[in-house]
Amino acid sequence: MVEKGFQDMANQNERKREKMFLIHSLIGVGIMVFFRFLPLNLPEVTSIGMEVLGIFIGTLYLWTFVDPLWGSLMSIAMVGLSNYMPMAGLLKEAFGAPVVAQVFFLLIMAGGLVYYKITLYIGRFFLTRKFTNGKPWLLMFVICIGCYFLGGFISPFTAIFLFWPVLYDVFEEVGYKKGDALPRVMLTLVVVASLIGFPMAPFAQNGLALLTNFTNITANLPGGPIVVNNAAYMGVAIILGLIMIVANILFAKFVIRPDVTKLKNYDVEMLNKNPLPPMEPRQKIIGASFVILILGMLLPSLFPSLPGMAFLSSNSLGLALFMVAALAAIRLNGKSVLEIPQVMATNFNWGAYFIIVAAILLGSVLTSENTGVSAFLSVVLSPIFQGMSPMVFTVLLMAMAVLLTNLCNSLVIGMILQPVIVTYCIQTGANPAPIVTLLIIFVLLSAAITPAASPFAAILHSNKEWVPTKYVYQYTIPFVILELIIVLVVGVPLANLLM
């Protein structure tokens, strides 16, 4: 009877979820279709602009309450069905963009790291450093660094799902139970550190989507488009990221103060009881190729005057394509080093791909002169920014970003706030590159407090056995406040110095 009761409850919850999915889907599509008919008198916005605004708002709704993948596909389809552009031209603009092609092949490379279990070796490397024996807080720092780089170059999902299971085994080995303070803190720090790394790479994930969107919306400005230097962006992200990780760990050590006595008994040999097999030639080749690919995309920004850098820079969008093609051509034991069909069938992040496609498309469409949206923002925001210094503007922008991103999807808020930066900089003559760099980095990494902020925060909230909800808020709120302070105190002068 008890089992039947649980089954009935599970079925009831499933029906409720399906019902809410349908309701939210209808609301999102309804906004896309009917927003244009609202009796709104928005200065400068054209009839096409009203159509596009409705699709944009509906997309944000679907991304937040339904499914980012499905919402992205519907968004692209609805723009094609609007009066903005015929469907054939729209599909060419959406899927034919060079950055979209770059993302496609980068995701194949990242998927290969997971499919061939190269990420396991990366995670094991960070967890088996002997200098962390008997030093719990140093161990936490090393784990957070591992999460940071995995979150930046591959995905926060990879970092979380790689480190959490290993930490569960460590907790059991040294005697911690579910709900104990130290496991709560460590599991939360894994998510927070992964999020801090999320915007680090300017050529991957949502950071690339927002940087490309900013380039698109500034294309029609005098002297535009504005392209943020990859090396400078990454330098700001890495320096801020490392400072934030240290600050959060120090806060946990001296303010939260969990009991780390049992963790002092941790020895890396605990993991070496079940060693990973030596890396195979295939794994070594793919891992080395990924490093070479990253260097190929970064070096032209770091050393533009060196021989060959101009060639790399002009072909940077195709480097991932070349690497995937080369790895598919090399044969080992009768198979391609990189088996593209298998990787795409199991470890290709389709959700991230279609979100980026939709985000880049919407950014371009919204700022088109045919819509009048940019002119509308200028009319509305210019009086507000009158006489405001860049520092005051940045403080207000970051405060707005952290509040909104924890109520809504972080990518959404980044897209909404970028035109605000453009309007301010046109009016005041301020350099937009440092401001937009800080916005992109902060809006993505601060999405840790509520489940709506990001899927990674939602994963943390779902782990109620180890981290009850009240502790998620108790830990993430001060962590994010610390991150905001670091962005304003360190990030503002650093970004202005490098850009």
Whether 338 and 294 map to the same domain: the answer is: yes
Whether 200 and 89 map to the same domain: the answer is: no
Q: What's the pLDDT score for residue 184?
A: 93
Whether 152 and 78 map to the same domain: the answer is: no
- pLDDT less than 70: residues of the chain: 1-10
The residue among 48, 67, 93 that closes a domain is 93
As a whole number of angstroms, the distance between CA 170 and CA 484 comes to 32
Instruction: For residue 308, give the 3-state DSSP assignment.
Output: coil
The residue among 64, 93, 122 that closes a domain is 93
As a whole number of angstroms, the distance between CA 468 and CA 473 comes to 9
- Closest-CA residue to 361 (of 48, 52, 29): 52
As a whole number of angstroms, the distance between CA 67 and CA 62 comes to 6
Q: What's the pLDDT score for residue 10?
A: 61
Whether 105 and 68 map to the same domain: the answer is: no
- Closest-CA residue to 470 (of 453, 456, 449): 449
User: In whole numbers, what is the pLDDT of the chain averaged over residues?
Assistant: 87
Task: Output the CA angle 38-43-77, nearest 5 degrees.
Answer: 55
Instruction: For residue 410, give the 3-state DSSP assignment.
Output: helix
Whether 298 and 390 map to the same domain: the answer is: yes
Whether 431 and 334 map to the same domain: the answer is: yes
Range of the domain at 326: 97-498
The residue among 74, 93, 112 that closes a domain is 93
Q: Residue 224 in contact with residue 425, Cβ under 8 Å?
A: no
Whether 101 and 85 map to the same domain: the answer is: no
> Does a cis peptide bond (omega within 30 degrees of 0) precede residue 390?
no
Q: What's the pLDDT score for residue 232?
A: 92
Q: What's the pLDDT score for residue 7?
A: 64
How many CB atoms are closer than 10 A to CB 257? 10
Distance of CA 385 to the CA centre of its chain: 29
Q: What's the pLDDT score for residue 495?
A: 95
Whether 327 and 181 map to the same domain: the answer is: yes
Q: For the chain, how many structural domains are there in total? A: 2
Q: What's the pLDDT score for residue 3?
A: 56
Whether 54 and 109 map to the same domain: the answer is: no
Whether 431 and 461 map to the same domain: the answer is: yes
Give, as one character, the DSSP assignment of residue 274.
S
Whether 53 and 116 map to the same domain: the answer is: no
Q: What's the pLDDT score for residue 47?
A: 92
Distance of CA 130 to the CA centre of its chain: 32
- Closest-CA residue to 167 (of 193, 141, 140): 140
Strands of 261-334 (E only): list them: 331-332
Whether 356 and 463 map to the same domain: the answer is: yes
pTM of the entire predicted model? 0.78
Partners of residue 331 on adjacent β-strands:
336
Tell me the CA distances in angstroms from 142 to 28, 136, 235, one per residue in order.
43, 10, 20
Dump pLDDT digits (tens) for 296-355.
888 887 788 888 888 988 888 899 999 999 999 999 989 999 999 999 999 898 887 888
